Amino acid sequence: MLPVNRGIQRTTSDQVVPPTTTDHLLSEDERLNAVRDREAVEALGRELDRRLMRQAMYPIYYDAARKQVAAGVSHEAIRAELNIRLADIEDEFDASVAREAYEDALADRPQPLDAESNS
């Protein structure tokens, strides 16, 4: 069995070589531009996430509503069920996608082309 020295604490790599940043090498203008660029890229990422989520979920909601209509369920009953389901959806954007898909299906409007590509 190897002896253990309990009197010395082990060091981590962060303690030996602390995390560094290159911000101090940038001018104030470059630093502000970097912040703006980072925020723009993050906003673009959020927008792409929303679009992809809509493209994925809209056809699912639309098809569910069309199946209920085809089964003879009344529009009022479908809307009532949708309202119950929407109460469980926390994200307002997700709820708006579901609401839009159901209303389009109930109004017998075709799916938008961007939503049809995933179905």
3-class SS at 74? coil
Whether residue 40 lies inside any domain: the answer is yes
| The overall pTM is greater than 0.85 | no
**108 close to 116: Cβ distance less than 8 angstroms:** no
| Residue range 59-85, pLDDT digits in tens | 999 999 999 999 999 999 999 999 998
* Two tokens, residue 71: 């089964």
Give the residue-averaged pLDDT of 31-47.
Answer: 93
Whether residue 62 lies inside any domain: the answer is yes
Whether residue 3 lies inside any domain: the answer is no
C-alpha dihedral over 75, 110, 100, 107, to 10 degrees? -30
Range in 28-37, 83-92, 96-105, 108-117 with the lowest mean pLDDT: 108-117
Range in 13-27, 39-53, 71-85, 91-105 with the lowest mean pLDDT: 13-27
Domain count, the chain: 1
Give the whole-angstrom CA distance, residue 60 versus residue 119: 8
Give the whole-angstrom CA distance, residue 81 versus residue 61: 12
